[in-house]
């Protein structure tokens, strides 16, 4: 796995966004982790990932069951360091 773009964000806002300029056509993986507040009783744990831009984007599938979180992040950050 070779990582060309990697960017992280965190925040307490209801809507959080990440902008990466001038993405080349291709396949991209988006890793999203939500840490629900433990002190709150959270019944609805659904969230949305979307995009804005001139180009058409298609979210094809959820692949969380195909990857181990720690292994995926280790490979992503190691590839970026190289």
Report domain extents, the chain. Answer: 44-82
What pLDDT is stored for residue 40 in this prediction? 67
Distance CA 79, CA 82 (A): 5
Q: Which pLDDT value is given to residue 16? A: 79
* pLDDT score of 20: 79
Q: Which pTM value belongs to this model?
A: 0.58
Ordered per-residue pLDDT tens for the chain, 82 residues: 455 666 677 777 777 777 877 778 888 888 887 777 776 666 777 777 888 877 788 888 888 888 888 888 888 788 777 6
Expressed in angstroms, the distance from the first to the final Cα of the chain is 12
pLDDT, position 5: 66
Residue 72: its H or E element? helix 69-81
What is residue 3's predicted lDDT score, i.e. its pLDDT? 55
């Amino acid at each position: 796995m070779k990582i060309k773009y990697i960017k992280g964000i965190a925040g307490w806002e209801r809507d959080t966004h990440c902008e990466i300029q001038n993405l080349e056509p291709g396949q991209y993986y988006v890793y999203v982790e939500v840490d629900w507040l433990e002190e709150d009783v959270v019944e609805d744990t659904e969230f949305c990932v979307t995009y804005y831009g001139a180009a058409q984007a298609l979210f094809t599938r959820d692949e969380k069951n195909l990857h181990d979180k720690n292994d995926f992040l280790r490979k992503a950050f190691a590839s970026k360091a190289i």
